[in-house]
């Protein structure tokens, strides 16, 4: 889709803790896309800074295509809010 993206498992050392992943994304001014709700804990309870987080909350049997389609819609409908904490689910998007 023309976005500059990296992948933790491919572009960074293996086994980085979530705090470090979030810090790297913030330092590089990248929006973090994740399935791990621990990033919500880092944002809301520990107040770690970030450049934006997109958290997917889909059922375990959701397909990659469902998530890709949801992300594509979000990038259009919430483009001005990508610096926030966004929760994407089959029922829609919540901005926190």
Q: b vs e for 10-40, b when ≥16 Cβ sit within 10 Å of the residue's Cβ?
A: eeeeeeeebeebbbbbbeeebbbbbeeeebb
Which pTM value belongs to this model? 0.88
* Proportion of the chain above pLDDT 90, given as a percent: 67
Residue-level pLDDT at 62: 93
pLDDT, average across residues 40-58:
90
pLDDT at 36 over 90: no
And the tokens for 52?
């934006």
Positive or negative: CA dihedral 5, 10, 11, 12: positive
Q: In this predicted structure, what is the pLDDT of residue 11?
A: 84
The torsion region of residue 33 among left (phi > 0), alpha (psi -120 to 50) and beta comes to: beta
């Amino acid at each position: 889709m023309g976005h500059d993206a990296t992948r933790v498992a491919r572009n960074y050392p293996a086994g980085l803790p979530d705090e470090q992943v979030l810090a790297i994304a913030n330092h590089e001014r990248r929006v973090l896309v994740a399935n791990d709700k621990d990033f919500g804990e880092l944002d809301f309870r520990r107040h770690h800074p970030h450049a934006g987080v997109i958290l997917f909350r889909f059922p375990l049997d959701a397909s990659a295509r469902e998530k890709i389609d949801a992300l594509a819609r979000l990038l259009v409908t919430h483009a001005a809010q990508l610096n926030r904490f966004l929760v994407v689910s089959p029922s829609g998007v919540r901005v926190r």
